[in-house]
Amino acid sequence: MNVVRAVRRFRMIVVSVLAVLAALAVVTLVGARAIERANPPVGRFVEVEGGRLHIVELGAADAPPVLLLHGASGNLADMRVALGERLAQRYRVILVDRPGHGWSDRPGGAADALPSAQAALIHQALTRLGVKRPIVVGHSWSGALATAYTLAYPDDVRGLVLLAPVTHPWPGGIGWINDVVALPVIGPLIARTFILPSGYFLLKPGVAAVFKPDAPPKNYGERTGVAMLLRPREFIANAQDLSQLKEFVRAQSPRYGEIKVPVTIIAGDKDPVVYTAIHSRAIAQQAPQAKLMVLPDVGHMVHYVAADAAVQAIDEMAAR
């Protein structure tokens, strides 16, 4: 009798768990569609091998090109709000949703987590658009992408601006939730059930943490579509990007001496996300034409807090 009761209790627990997961999956599906309706694509879709990338172009087509690459946990709107609209007054600005982010496809799946794979797809898109020798600007995660792009296409880059960039391996991890979501099977299950309902309440404190010690701009989350990250496919892509980043920069970092174009690195000395001493100072010593600016009492979001310095760096490269 006790065995029968135990079996019944176990069945009830299983049914209850499945019911909760099903409810969370429905909430996630409905929530993701609502987020997408609130943040529709605003650019054009450019065909690449296996899919297409969402790209926004600003400014005159015959102006010097500037490629703006966003960091982790975001999309092209982050760089557009910080720098894109301002630069469009005198440059051809190209903003890209990195593969798997925003409205861009991720044709290679997990393989597209590598910055080198994303660089190849973005170069394909720019070639289709007729964009030649842009100044490449990369923030945070895209420090690895911008340098990978420059190393892969050395004759097709005019200059390189790195903003609080990831360039070298670092001690520690990437956060347990990213480790788990990057796993097969269990990762997609969590992303399709728990992430959106719980993450919605963590967006605002998350934004505050990444800007620390600086304050985020008013309505930053709404203007940049931060909630897009909570969609399952994008959260999985972001976790994969982060999980493979350390080993990628470990292999790539010895090659920074091969970068022949001018490089300007701008970082804050209070960055709690990407440590300036490990990344910015290290690549500044390796790249032959590197110029390093370390800003006092500034955190990770230098493209907002020190937008003037970033624009000046781009202007100087354009003039050269």
State yes or no: pLDDT of 29 exceeds 80: yes
Coil/strand/helix, residue 307: helix
DSSP H helices, 140-193, are 142-152, 176-181, 186-191
pTM of the model: 0.95
Read off the pLDDT of each residue in 244-249 and give the average, rounded to a whole number: 98
State yes or no: pLDDT of 75 exceeds 70: yes
Q: If you write DSSP's letter for every residue of 93-137 in order, what string do you get?
A: EEEE--TTSTT---TTGGGGGSHHHHHHHHHHHHHHHT--SPEEE
CA 187 vs. chain centroid, Å, equals: 19
- Rg of the Cα atoms in the chain: 21
Lowest mean pLDDT of 14-28, 91-105, 196-210, name the range. Answer: 14-28
20 — pLDDT class (breaks 50, 70, 90): confident
Q: For 120-137, give one letter per residue: b (16+ CB within 10 A) or e.
A: bbbbebbeebebeebbbb
Which tens digits make up the pLDDT trace of 250-278? 999 999 999 999 999 999 999 999 999 99
18 — pLDDT class (breaks 50, 70, 90): confident
Residue-range domains of the chain with CATH: 39-319 (3.40.50.1820)
Token pair recorded at residue 66: 């500037």
Which tens digits make up the pLDDT trace of 33-56? 999 999 999 999 999 999 999 999
Q: What is the sign, positive or negative, of the torsion defined by CA atoms of 286, 125, 71, 133?
A: positive
Read off the pLDDT of each residue in 60-69 and give the average, rounded to a whole number: 97
Lowest mean pLDDT of 5-9, 90-94, 155-159, 208-212, name the range. Answer: 5-9
State yes or no: pLDDT of 219 exceeds 90: yes
Token pair recorded at residue 303: 């493209």
Are the C-beta atoms of residues 219 and 213 closer than 8 Å to each other?
Answer: no
pLDDT at 9: 78
